Amino acid sequence: MEKVNSIHLDISGQICPSCLLLTLKELNQHAAAVREGNTEIVVTTDDRQATATIPDAVSKMGYVAEVSRVDAGYRIRVSAKR
């Protein structure tokens, strides 16, 4: 099985919409690798709004986002559509 490279971002406590903008910036920088399926972007955040805006924004760009709960916050995993 191919190893997936994860890029981790921790964006907690920053001024909105840091979480969304920094995630999109990272996604654009690694667009080709994420599209090929060997890289994913994993964001840890306390921003509730981002749990709605990130999946919405990346799905329009052709990616998928999975939101899961972590200690006192959320983890949003952005990867290629399978």
Partner 1 sequence: MGESPFLLIAATSAVAGLVAGFVMHRSDFCVTAMFRDLFLLRDFFLLRMLVLLVVVSAPAFELGRAAGLLGPYPFPLLGPGSLATLIGGVLFGIGMVLAGGCVVGTLYKLGAGSVVAAVAFLGLLAGSALYAEWHPWWSAFARATAFGPAITLPQWLNVAPAALVLPLAALGALGALYLYRSQRRGLLTRPGYATGHIPPWQAALILAALGFVSWLFIGMPLGITTSYAKLGATLEALVWPEHVAGLAYFQAQGLNYTPPFANTPVSGGAGPQLDAIAAIQYPLIIGIILGAAVSALLVKEWRLHWRIPPRHYASALLGGMLLGAAARMVPGCNIWHLWGGVPILAVQSLLFLLGILPGAWIGSRLLVRFVIR
What residues line the site for partner 1 (CB under 8 A)? 12-18, 20-22, 46, 48-49, 51-53, 55-57, 67, 69, 72-74
| CA separation for the pair 26, 61 (Å, rounded) | 14
Q: How far is the CB of 41 from partner 1 (least distance, A)?
A: 16
How many Cα atoms sit within 13 Å of 53 on the Cβ side?
15
Return the number of the residue (69 or 82) whose C-beta is nearest partner 1.
69
Return the number of the residue (34 or 65) whose C-beta is nearest partner 1.
65
Q: How far is the CB of 66 from partner 1 (least distance, A)?
A: 9
Return the number of the residue (7 or 21) whose C-beta is nearest partner 1.
21
| CA separation for the pair 28, 6 (Å, rounded) | 15
Q: Are 23 and 76 in contact (CB under 8 A)?
A: yes
